[in-house]
Amino acid sequence: MAVKKDESVEGSLPGELMQLVLSIASKWGDDDTDPDTINVELMSGAMTNAVFQISWPAKTEKVTRRVLGRVYGVGVEHFFDRVDEIRTFEFLSSKGHGPKLLGKSAEGRIEQFIEARTLSADDLRDPEVSTLIAGKLRQFHSIVIPGTTKEVVLWNRLRKWLEKAKRLCSTEQTTEFRLGDLENEISLLEKELSREPPEIGFCHNDLQYGNIMIENTARLITFIDYEYATYNPIAYDFANHFCEMAANYHTHTPHVLDYSRYPGSEERHRFISSYLSSSGNHPSDEEVEKLAVYAEKYTLANHLFWGLWGAISANVNTIDFKYLEYSRQRFEQYWLRKPELLGISGDDL
């Protein structure tokens, strides 16, 4: 995410989080840091939480300390359990994935500031970077979260979100987005995509460019922001990643999706081949093709996932993002691509 100067939010970190920052500063040797010397800048690109870069001058060294502050968004309880999310974050952090947790409160948390560059939309199209992402994703999918069952979460989550969307959306929104039809559509997708047992892994489920960082010297990839991470078919994570290539959240119209940027067959196959090869195996063309076909079909579930997310967010979230227009594009893509990818209608259940 990029830092965005915004006079309306500069210095607006909630009191509890500012106290956490002062406590962290003290632990790092910056005793009695003047709050007026702490710089708080909103980082653009976040659509679930408000994220801030927080910095202050060190007292004993000629350096600038930096941490990341995450203020929990309004209405996130509609999407995931915050306690579970923090537990996952802490576990992944302890295993060397992502930033360290430095402090938390009911309003948000303070995280380690990773000295790496957040990817841009164009970075996802770089073959070298894409290969690095694929290898990291293979590692991520192998993570075992203690106390959880390795079962697909996608379908139940879609059904829960659909019920919430029906309660929150206006009559006009419900009609336009065809929410009344989506229970059948979810069941149809579950049936069609479960004909063969899918390979299940611990999926990020939100692998957009803003959630991927790269250390330029060592060329190390780090995934961040695990709010939606759960066990799911690995093909769904590919689908999500490919769909995100149509987005650029750092333009004047961050909600607009450009599907002419969706990766072509060669690009998708290359990513999947890199993923499978990263463990030392040499996949056959048939293995790559099979997974690529499933990934394409899972884009339908991904369009429903983020379409429902946008419909709910529009009614609960205060972040400046045109959620309804984003949802509209996702639902349109679902109905546009369904005949091609499934070759059946919702009446064929």
DSSP assignment string, 119-148:
PPTGGGG-HHHHHHHHHHHHHHHT---TT-
What distance in Å separates the CA atoms of residue 54 and residue 67, rounded to the nearest whole number?
A: 5
Which residue, chain included where needed, has tokens 């067959």?
265
Whether residue 19 is found in the same domain as residue 133: no
- Report the helix count and the strand count for the chain, using DSSP H and E: 10, 11
pLDDT for 11:
46
Residues 22, 35 contacting (CB under 8 angstroms): yes
Claim to verify: residue 169 and residue 80 sit in the same structural domain: no
The confidence score (pLDDT) of residue 169 equals 97
Task: Tell me which of 88, 112, 136 is where a domain ends.
Answer: 112
Question: Do 56 and 176 belong together in one domain?
Answer: no
Which of 297, 276, 294 shows the shortest CA–CA distance to 285? 276
Same domain, 313 and 181: yes
Question: CA-CA distances (angstroms) from residue 129 to 38, 124, 134, 220, 304?
Answer: 35, 7, 9, 10, 28
Are 276 and 339 part of one and the same domain? yes
The residue assigned the tokens 């590919």 is 238
What is the number of domains present in the chain?
A: 2
Name the strand (E) or helix (H) holding 28. Answer: none
Residues 72 and 153 in one domain: no
Question: Are 267 and 206 found together in one domain?
Answer: yes
Q: Are residues 89 and 122 in the same domain?
A: no
What domain range is 39 assigned to? 2-112
* Helix, strand, coil distribution of the chain in percent, nearest 5: 50, 15, 35
For residues 300 and 192, the answer to whether their CB atoms sit within 8 Å is no
Which residue carries 């991470």 as its tokens? 229
Shared domain for 95 and 216, answered yes or no, is no
Q: Is 10:50 a contact under the CB 8 Å cutoff?
A: no
Same domain, 42 and 57: yes
What are the tokens at 21? Answer: 């920052």
Task: Output the six-digit token pair for 339.
Answer: 């005949």
- Predicted local distance difference test score (pLDDT) of residue 98: 86
What pLDDT does residue 110 have?
Answer: 94
Task: Report d(CA 176, CA 245) in Å as an integer.
Answer: 26
Report whether 18 contacts 35 (CB < 8 A).
Answer: yes
Contact assessment for residue 114 and residue 213, using Cβ atoms and an 8 Å cutoff: yes
Query: Which of 59, 90, 112 delimits the end of a domain?
Result: 112
- At 288 the pLDDT is 97
Q: Are residues 105 and 149 in the same domain?
A: no
State the pLDDT at residue 10. Answer: 40
If the chain, 349 residues long, is cut into consecutive pieces of 10 residues, what is the mean pLDDT of each piece?
A: 38 83 93 90 75 91 91 78 85 88 90 92 96 97 92 97 97 97 98 94 96 92 93 98 96 95 97 95 94 98 98 90 97 97 64
Look up the pTM and report it.
Answer: 0.88
Residues 6+ apart with CB under 8 A from 148: 231
Sign of CA dihedral 143, 227, 216, 134: positive
Domain end position, chosen among 76, 93, 112: 112
- Residue 272 and residue 259 in one domain: yes
pLDDT number for residue 47: 67
Q: What CATH number should be reported for the domain holding residue 283? A: 3.90.1200.10
CATH number of the structural domain spanning residue 27: 3.30.200
